[in-house]
Amino acid sequence: MGEYSISKLNKVIRGSKRATYDVTSIHKILDDAFLCNIGYVYDDKAIVIPTAYGRIDDKIYIHGSLKNRMMLSLLKAGEASVSVTHLDGLVLARSAFHHSANYRSVNIFGKVNRVDDPDTKMDALKCILNHMVPGHWDNVRYPNDKEFNATLILEISIETASAKVRAEGVVDEQKDLELPIWAGIVPLKMVAEPAISDPALDKGIKIPDAVLNYVKENTY
Amino acid sequence: MGEYSISKLNKVIRGSKRATYDVTSIHKILDDAFLCNIGYVYDDKAIVIPTAYGRIDDKIYIHGSLKNRMMLSLLKAGEASVSVTHLDGLVLARSAFHHSANYRSVNIFGKVNRVDDPDTKMDALKCILNHMVPGHWDNVRYPNDKEFNATLILEISIETASAKVRAEGVVDEQKDLELPIWAGIVPLKMVAEPAISDPALDKGIKIPDAVLNYVKENTY
């Protein structure tokens, strides 16, 4: 699928040997998360808000209320920057200076458009929910007209993107290797615990396979 | 410790019943993480970068290279916005519309200053490292002059802040409670796996207590 073009906006300067612009790698990092951080400018300040998202091809979808300040600011700006980070471990070096983390991180820059076409809008909602728990859309009550009309969907078309990935052990100065100081990594991962059914639920209603599978794939 | 003042910048409009400005609660959310997302303006665009941080009283410290674009942009702007989010669970409602997540999220706005005083700078480095693994600073080789001088430390003095916390079960429409659709939550947590010693390490060097304790407290 090639690479995203490199501009001064997305070019990774610091730690550039850990950078990638590969489309497939970037899509994978995006698909492994469902929470992103959106940056928007308000009152000349950059504000960061976490929000759920979904991806279809080279488009990211986010949703919110019609009055959401972030959503309206993004729409007004016509562009958005999106950041997704997986924290994979602590890198504990011999020296304070070489402490680091293992991570997979993506930054996206794209054009923002409001989604008004009802089919595209419903597809986006489905995509966002399935991005959280694959296949769960088929189990739920779909949005009614009131809910559907109260939801603002923005489509962020990826124009440029970059990823940084650190996935290795400790890197210390050669002369520090002789020091009587411990060094190593501590892997970190996000895990799911078993689903807890709503107490108001009728006892006969079983946990759907999509949820069971999600827990199974994310269990410790 | 009171509350942060509320301005149009930090006032939570959407989901305001989940908002808090309580200083102690906000400090706790900050102390439970070590990775934040910094928003900065570059070329009139908001860019979001994940980075490690530490907190001392009402000050957040971040570090980076002297040439780091984010650090230099923050210094030039004189102000920064910082976001920290813990994802605590999926909230899977009967209706697509009421799907949500449990989370603890903080947004900070503050003045940025470069730290030049050597003692304050070393304290900030210690704070950032101990924020990752409490007490581990005492185990490592401290920065030498070259490393110390190559590190830029910024102090972000918190001026306003807000938190949003969702920590509850499914909230569905009353009329949906009768539907034969499952609903519930899936708790999520970040866990640590046992430390993996650097293969170059002398076999006689033991994993320090600070690291063992960190793993123990964050294990599944």
Burial of B130 (0-12, 13-18, 19+ CB in 10 A): middle
Residue A21 in this model has a pLDDT that exceeds 90: yes
Chain B partners within 8 Å of A212 (Cβ) = none
At A203 the pLDDT is 85
Query: Hey, which residues does B42 pair with through a beta bridge?
Result: B45
Residue B1's contacts (CB-CB under 8 Å, 6 or more residues apart) are: B22, B23, B24, B27
Per-residue pLDDT of chain B (220 residues; tens, 9 = 90+): 799 988 887 888 777 788 999 999 999 999 999 999 999 998 889 999 999 999 999 999 999 999 999 999 999 999 999 999 999 999 999 999 999 999 999 999 999 999 999 999 999 999 999 999 999 999 999 999 999 999 999 999 999 999 999 999 999 999 999 999 999 999 999 999 999 999 999 889 999 999 999 999 999 8
Q: Give B125's contacts in chain A (Cβ within 8 Å).
A: 96
pTM of this prediction? 0.94
pLDDT in tens, A182-212: 999 999 999 999 999 999 998 899 999 999 9
Q: Check CB contact of A214 with chain B, cutoff 8 Å.
A: yes
Q: Rounded to whole angstroms, how far apart are CA atoms A89 and A91?
A: 6
Taking only residues 17 to 46 of chain A, the set having a beta carbon closer than 8 angstroms to any beta carbon of chain B reads: 35, 37-46
For residue B102, how many other CB atoms are within 10 A of its CB? 19
Q: What ipTM, to 2 d.p.?
A: 0.94
CATH number of A16-189: 2.30.110.10
Output the pLDDT for position A1: 78
Who wins on pLDDT, A13 or A213?
Answer: A213
**Tell me, what DSSP letter sits at residue A187?**
E
For A109, phi then psi, to 5°, come to -125, 130
Of the candidates B64, B81, B151, the beta carbon closest to that of A46 is on B81
Of B46, B125, B172, the CB nearest to A39: B46
In tens, the pLDDT along A163-174 reads 999 999 999 999
Q: Is the pLDDT of residue A14 over 80?
A: no
Residues contacting A9, CB < 8 A, separation 6+: A109, A160, B42, B43, B45
Query: Is A146 an interface residue toward B (CB < 8 Å)?
Result: no
Residues of chain A within CATH 2.30.110.10 domain(s) are 16-189
Q: What is the pLDDT of residues A82-99, one digit of tens each?
A: 999 999 999 999 999 999
Identify the closest residue of chain A to B220 by CA–CA distance. Answer: A220
